[in-house]
Structure 1
């Protein structure tokens, strides 16, 4: 077992002043008889050998992470890596064996059953791979269902349901039943149902993995559109790195129940902490994750630029333009300040998967 401490994204944390919404600290989920006493005996730090001797299974092992308000935080790994168990621990759908989980400073592991029910009903939204729609209810009724559980009167809950129906693009289908909808439309109903309670934090566990590739991409675009409007704090589980690249602010990679590395997609691809992370990201096109800032050189005196790009713009987004004009592009900060320049040759090297000399960059 890799026993290193989870790697923090110190660079991102230092520049991101948004408050921490969700804190997960040294969380374990161990299956087997006497698991809690076992962890206490080992002070919350058993080795894989200790677990094996005790005939216990560590589904999640000393997991620590921080999710900031409004962040798209992706947890990913292969099947059996512990990612789904971890997200269920974060909402206490699965009871953690050890550790601390806080939502806005509230210790969820100390919350009473009644307190936890209220938190889930009013502050959390959850969407899973299987839509779990109620087949005997219409779209409107399915979306309004969690509000009826809250005791919201019918007129109010239906008004709120109609609002989110319009938000997710299902207007005109209010009276359809799930069997009359496509897979993508059914998942939109699931998303709308979770949004109807106006959650502060949104847990999505591989919500698009059962969809066809084209519909899946449409749903990813829909999620990004919704997030641009709603600014939710999102914890999203996936095993698809291309999906993570498209959606994530930061990514945590899991293996054998452990968080191996946390970082932006660019950091994970360019600076993998372990051989496992390097192998996991090996086939990712660097132009999709590398920003102009990571490739830029110092500004040239009296340069004749062929265009301007933002520091955070991905190389794939402007590669055709810069190669087409065969002139350097100026890289600017969000406030318009010049930061450096990107050359067509460096972009071509990235597209051809050749390393660009680091000493040439800022």
Structure 2
């Protein structure tokens, strides 16, 4: 997967002598030391890349630096040190005018608070980015209507923002970002102000749109379940630093430190894990019957549990060529739902009742 966006050793320091503060951070100083001198290190040595068509989620608690990081990605904030590259172009080296051009055509942003103009219709709000670009009225209205239809707002084009629910207003904000046909979408806590049911509906909408549009998206959230649901990969931030980057399964099963482990302890594992994460990849003997119901590596955990309840043995996991790539014993499913360490471990065969083979966690 080619990288569309790259962040290279980004620092953002607010306060006196920021360049000096960066050097102190590089030499091992922490946030608290700088704060004592009246300096705030918002982002510290952040590096990552985002592949084409990927949803990359940055998550962390309030004050972790995630929103500051996002604003450096499109130049709303200038990094104290480090570089941001989009399609190989160094955004940190551009003039203000060139950067504004990039923001108007290549990078769109969806805010937490809908930021709609109350005196403009839904159509005119969705078309605003195109208006800034100088697109003729007829074309921008056509493109705005297409974006609104993608977001489920066909028929609402002539309405006013105050006639829409919160979820619908956020859809207008998303349509405005889509209408410009930007390569990169930056979404800053975009669903956080919504009620839980509407929020989940917007998550569904985004995932459905992504199947067709395949945008490159950086999504900021403080909600771990939202991050796990949306992210192809997730970066966890704490005190300005990225402490772990990986897939939802990587973070859930292999937390990098105690902070990440405590952060994920209340996650509903059944909504995240798949057969690939829990299967034993070294099956031996007759642990599973491939003639019965089987799973694939992408089978969701909840579906895997249902299959396991219907068969009297470990569930066989088959690859695209129908070859056996792993097995999932029932005990393993129970273990992954428990509070114990869920790191995948080899399974061993043990004698069961009547001499049958069963599999238990090692």
* TM-score, normalisation: structure 2: 0.89
Q: Which of these residues, 10, 14, 22, is aligned with residue 5 of structure 2?
A: 22
- What does residue range 264-279 of structure 1 map to in structure 2 within 5 Å? 264-279=247-262
Match in the other structure for 1:9: none
- Any unmatched runs of 5+ in structure 2? 348-360
Residues of 1 paired with 2:323 and 2:140: CA distance?
48
Larger RCO of the pair (alpha carbons < 8 Å, separation 6+):
1
* Cα distance, 1:334–1:189 mapped onto 2, change above 3 Å: farther
* Cα distance, 1:110–1:334 mapped onto 2, change above 3 Å: farther
* Cα distance, 1:334–1:244 mapped onto 2, change above 3 Å: farther
Residues of 2 paired with 1:102 and 1:234: CA distance?
15
Counterpart secondary structure, 2:294 = strand
* Cα distance, 1:45–1:111 mapped onto 2, change above 3 Å: farther
Instruction: Report if aligned partners of 1:83, 1:237 keep a CA contact under 8 Å in 2.
Output: yes
Match in the other structure for 1:72: 55
Match in the other structure for 1:332: 318
Structure 1 residue 354: deviation in Å?
5.0
* Cα distance, 1:28–1:350 mapped onto 2, change above 3 Å: same
Residues of 2 paired with 1:336 and 1:123: CA distance?
42
Instruction: Report if aligned partners of 2:121, 2:160 keep a CA contact under 8 Å in 1.
Output: yes
Q: Which of these residues, 337, 342, 347, is aligned with residue 351 of structure 1?
A: 337
Q: Which of these residues, 231, 239, 242, is aligned with residue 259 of structure 1?
A: 242
Q: Which of these residues, 166, 173, 176, is aligned with residue 159 of structure 2?
A: 176
- Any unmatched runs of 5+ in structure 1? 1-17
Match in the other structure for 1:123: 106
Q: Which of these residues, 302, 305, 308, is aligned with residue 322 of structure 1?
A: 308
Structure 1 residue 312: deviation in Å?
2.9
- What does residue range 50-69 of structure 1 map to in structure 2 within 5 Å? 51-52=34-35, 54-69=37-52
Match in the other structure for 1:3: none
Q: What RMSD in Å do the two structures reach over aligned CA positions?
A: 2.0
Q: Please give the per-residue CA displacement for 1:26-68, whole angstroms capped at 9, x wherever unaligned.
A: 10100002213543x5485451265245421001111111111
Counterpart secondary structure, 1:358 = coil
Instruction: Report if aligned partners of 2:144, 2:179 keep a CA contact under 8 Å in 1.
Output: yes
* TM-score, normalisation: structure 1: 0.89
Q: Which of these residues, 132, 155, 163, is aligned with residue 138 of structure 2?
A: 155
Residues of 1 paired with 2:261 and 2:337: CA distance?
19
Q: Please give the per-residue CA displacement for 1:115-163, whole angstroms capped at 9, x wherever unaligned.
A: 1111111111110110000001111110011111110001111111111
* Cα distance, 1:348–1:181 mapped onto 2, change above 3 Å: same
- What does residue range 1-362 of structure 1 map to in structure 2 within 5 Å? 18-39=1-22, 42=24, 44-45=26-27, 47-48=29-30, 51-52=34-35, 54-297=37-280, 298-301=282-285, 303-305=288-290, 306-353=292-339, 358-360=345-347
Counterpart secondary structure, 1:126 = strand
Residues of 2 paired with 1:173 and 1:223: CA distance?
19
Structure 1 residue 94: deviation in Å?
1.3
Residues of 2 paired with 1:90 and 1:194: CA distance?
16
